[in-house]
Chain A
Amino acid sequence: MAKTALQFQHNGRDVAIFVDGGTNLLVALRELIGDMTPKFGCGQGGCGTCSVLIDGEIHLSCLTLAETVAGRSVETLDGIKDGPNLHPLQRAFADNFAAQCGYCTPGMLTAAKALLDRNPQPSRAEVVEAISGNICRCTGYEPIINAVLAAASGGRARA
Chain B
Amino acid sequence: MTRHRGRGIASVNYPIGMNLGGDPSQALVHSNPSGKFTVALSSIDLGQGMKSVTRQICAETLGVPVEDVYVDTADSDTGPHCMGSFASRGTHRVGNAVMAAAREARGVMMEAAAEELEVNAADLETDGRGNIHVRGAPHRSISTKDVAIAAQFKQGKTISGRGIFLVPLSDVDPETGEMSPATCYAHACLVAEVEVDDETGEVAMIRMDSAYELGRALNPRLVEQQLVGGAWMGVSHALYETPEPYYPEPVHGPRDFVEYLMPGPGDICPHDIAVLERPAPDGPFGAKGPGEMCANPVLPAVANAIFNAVGVRIDDLPITPEKVLRAIKAQGGARPQPRR
On A, residues with C-beta under 8 Å from B are 42, 44, 46-47, 97, 99-102, 127-129, 131-132, 134-145
Contact = CB atoms under 8 A, between A and B. Distances in A.
A44 B264 contact: no
B327 interface: no
A145 B222 CA distance: 17
Contacts of A141: 232, 264-265, 268
Interface in B237-282: 256-258, 262, 264-266, 268, 271
A101 B233 CA distance: 14
Interface residues of B, number: 22
B49 to A, nearest CB: 8
Contact of A142 (B46, B221, B271): B271
Contact of B224 (A42, A97, A134): A97
A129 B224 CA distance: 24
Task: Classify the interface of chain B: helix, strand, loop or mixed.
Answer: helix
A141 to B, nearest CB: 4
A139 B225 contact: yes
- Pairs of residues from A and B, 8 with the lowest C-beta to C-beta distance, nearest first: A140-B232, A100-B47, A46-B257, A101-B47, A141-B265, A97-B225, A140-B229, A139-B229
Contact of B229 (A46, A47, A128, A138): A138
Contact of A100 (B48, B221, B224, B266): B48
B231 interface: yes
Contact of B256 (A42, A127, A144): A42
Contacts of A47: 257
A136 B230 CA distance: 12
Interface of B: 46-48, 221-222, 224-225, 228-233, 256-258, 262, 264-266, 268, 271
Given A42-B256, A100-B47, A135 B228 contact: no
A114 to B, nearest CB: 15
A128 B266 contact: yes
A100 B265 contact: no
Contact of A102 (B47, B229, B232): B47
Contacts of B233: 137, 140
A140 B228 contact: yes
A100 B225 contact: yes
B256 A142 contact: no
Given A131-B265, A135-B262, A139-B232, 20 more contacts: A44-B256, A46-B257, A47-B257, A97-B221, A97-B224, A100-B46, A127-B265, A128-B266, A132-B264, A132-B265, A132-B266, A135-B257, A135-B264, A137-B233, A138-B47, A139-B228, A140-B228, A140-B271, A142-B228, A143-B228
